[in-house]
Structure 1
């Protein structure tokens, strides 16, 4: 157990775990500008190692907020090796954080763990909410379930806990925007597959604001869908993206072509063809106001 005098700072402390990607970089910049004492846990040289339980505990002691984004990218082929890495990179890191939090003399006030909106079934009839959303099946769903189980199974009664089931994150300079933008620019920005699959998304700015919202609202915990209130079809999505970049036409890509292309670039078509229809019911009910509630507004900001 770490001594209560193991740290001394007048600024609130945030611990970001596995936050080296698109979302993590945005959070680092945001909280540094707010004057937080920032601590990083990752596999990156110079950060606190996942294998250093004592250092993790020391970093977490007295933290106002812990945000865990750790997890290997799912943008790959789902062979046995990659599936094992995808699963372990989420569950093992979450268990390690739980053990470190339980070792704290003064544990974090709030722990927000990343989750995924792909936990819900392929929905084309109605949006999936936190209260009545039906969970799906298959490898991606099993990963999502195991990830949340690892999070909620740790006994951390002094720490408020929340999961963000994150939809596809849109923003400048990263995330999934680059391949979509390239398709649009080269005239291939038509619908993919049938085009009726739903595209649930959230702007990076609103995702960061959701984390700040949960930090401020000390009465909130549990599961939250991190998705914009507007969920468009894939055909509508691509039309809006074409408009944002001044492209009138875009050739569609049938499912068989996507399957061939996915093998060539070593990814899975599920990332495009699964219908994700996710509604942020709890966020809206609790009064969260989206800065980018529609895809047209989001794309206008990104393309600017």
Structure 2
């Protein structure tokens, strides 16, 4: 299978590159060829621009994971614009190239996030949930998905990857949390009752490969483990995994001072379930948080 991939140097993309079965030929779009080749070597062919392509007829699949990290900086007006455009623009370019050819890719897997649902309470949320909260994360993901769905045709199926908190010891949210917990200063944020919908990096990669190969799969999929936990439960389980106490709590007003509008990601949650993924026959290797953290061998 000939695959065009964006976001190949990110947390998910770099792990995915090491897990493709034999026989797949991967071309990765990246802005920094030298850095990508140094980090990931010969796992893929590297492409610095889409300008050399008039269509995507030579590819069997597109995996679109590119985007400015959403939680690396405060959400200034400028940063929110970068977050949006880094996702919308590349997705639109890929869609346009799909539509420009006579033999478009058979599958288009495009990133999204459970932020699509906006803040929710403790209600279980599946892909069939329609009552989304209208805020920045929802508007970001809604337009991102709408753009990707333009690639859908009789020849091309589109899968939308609504991703939760990806657990990995090599990057992402978990690595940012760990220093405080290692020093015994970690704990719940706000009242701690907001739900955190997480997924182990191995299951994240396995789910992408599953959707890539299943010809009947299309539409939105929640890439989250079947057992979301509250922020308080997450904090206690993480502290236990690191053999540290969980004594401190960060009040909501402090979170808002530190993170401004981005605090919404931390203080409001979603109890998201991977209903359609399981209905399609996908089996999670890591279903419970304590076992998932143990498997990462945190230290």
TM-score (norm. length: structure 1): 0.88
Q: 1:25 aligns to what?
A: 14
Q: CA deviation at 1:173?
A: 1.0
State TM-score, norm by structure 2: 0.90
Structure 2 distance, partners of 1:300, 1:191, is 20
1:129 aligns with 2:126: yes
| Structure 2 equivalent of residue 38 of structure 1 | 26
Aligned length: 286
| 1:143-162 superposed Cα distances (whole Å, 9 cap, x missing partner) | 11110111112454311111
What is the aligned partner in structure 2 of residue 8 from structure 1? Answer: none
- Which aligned pairs between 1:144-293 and structure 2 lie closer than 5 A? 144-154=141-151, 156-262=153-259, 268-293=262-287
Q: Secondary structure at the match of 1:165?
A: strand
Residues 223-265 of structure 1: CA deviation (Å, up to 9, x unaligned) = 11111000100000000101111113331111122223336xx
RMSD between superposed Cα atoms in Å: 1.8
Q: Using the alignment, how far apart are the partners of 2:91 and 2:8 within structure 1?
A: 13
Kept in 2, the 8 Å contact 1:67–1:113? The answer is: yes
Unaligned 5+ segments in structure 2 are 35-45
How far has the Cα of 1:50 moved from its partner?
A: 4.2
Match of 2:39 in 1: none
How many Å apart are 1:105 and its aligned residue? 3.7
Distance in 2 (CA, whole Å) between partners of 1:272 and 1:303 is 25
State the partner residue of 2:47: 48
The verdict on how the C-alpha distance between 1:155 and 1:288 changes in structure 2, with shifts beyond 3 A counting, is closer
| Greater alpha carbon shift after TM alignment, 196-205 vs 36-45 | 36-45
CA distance in 2, matches of 1:250, 1:13: 51
Report the Cα offset of residue 56 of structure 1. Answer: 6.8
Query: Runs of 5+ in structure 1 lacking a partner?
Result: 1-11
Structure 1 segment 61-140 matched on structure 2, within 5 A: 61-75=57-71, 76-140=73-137
CA shift digits 1:41-65 (9 cap, x unpaired): 132236424451x4373xx333232
Q: Quick one: distance in 2 between partners of 1:66 and 1:299? A: 31
